[in-house]
């Protein structure tokens, strides 16, 4: 094999690796304004009714019955995960005694409220409940 072919093969495999990586980490960031203020307000109404009793107010400093959804522990654990994963976590497990009772609209509003509580900016376009789109957006809260 000549040197040129080796070089070509090496750069081809490097390219493959970076393509695979790009698929693993969602392309868009929730820092780009992916929900609206109106949506987050709707989400707060659902949160106060169904989540507050365990997760506490977003202004709490210490968790009580359940982890806070906007402290550094939450941000560190969710930073590189997608909004689809957060949506599914809530849909499949929350509230623990009534999982599966929230509508997709309520779920996406809750995600919007959690983003706003993590100081992620609102934008002009509402967040969609489409799983494939949510998979493309990583939560990306907290410091870099």
Say how far apart CA 62 and CA 70 lie, in whole Å.
11
State yes or no: residue 100 binds ligand HEC (CB under 6 A). no
H helix runs in the chain, sequence order? 3-24, 37-50, 52-55, 72-78, 83-93, 104-117, 131-135
Q: Should residue 141 be labelled a site residue for ligand HEC when binding is judged by CB under 6 A? A: no
The Cβ-side half-sphere exposure at 3, using a 13 Å CA radius, reads: 0
> Quick check: 35 binds ligand HEC (CB under 6 A)?
no
Q: Does 138 bind ligand HEC (CB under 6 A)?
A: no
User: Judged by CB under 6 A, does residue 32 bind ligand HEC?
Assistant: no
Closest CB to ligand HEC among residues 16, 77: 77
Q: List interacting residues with ligand HEC (CB under 6 A).
A: 50-51, 53-55, 65-67, 69, 74, 77, 86, 89-90, 93-96, 102, 110
């Amino acid at each position: 094999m000549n040197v040129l072919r080796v070089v070509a093969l090496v750069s081809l495999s490097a390219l493959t690796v970076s393509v695979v990586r790009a698929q693993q980490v969602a392309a868009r960031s929730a820092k780009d304004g992916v929900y609206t203020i109106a949506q987050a307000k709707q989400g707060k109404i659902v949160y106060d009714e169904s989540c507050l009793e365990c997760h506490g107010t977003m202004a709490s400093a210490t968790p009580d019955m359940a982890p806070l959804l906007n402290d550094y522990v939450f941000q560190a654990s969710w930073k590189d995960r997608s909004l689809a994963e957060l949506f599914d976590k809530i849909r499949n497990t929350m509230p623990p005694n009534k999982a599966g009772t929230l509508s997709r609209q309520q779920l996406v509003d809750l995600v919007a409220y959690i983003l706003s509580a993590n100081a992620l900016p609102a934008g002009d376009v509402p967040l969609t409940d489409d799983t494939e789109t949510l998979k493309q957006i990583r939560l990306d809260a907290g410091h870099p």
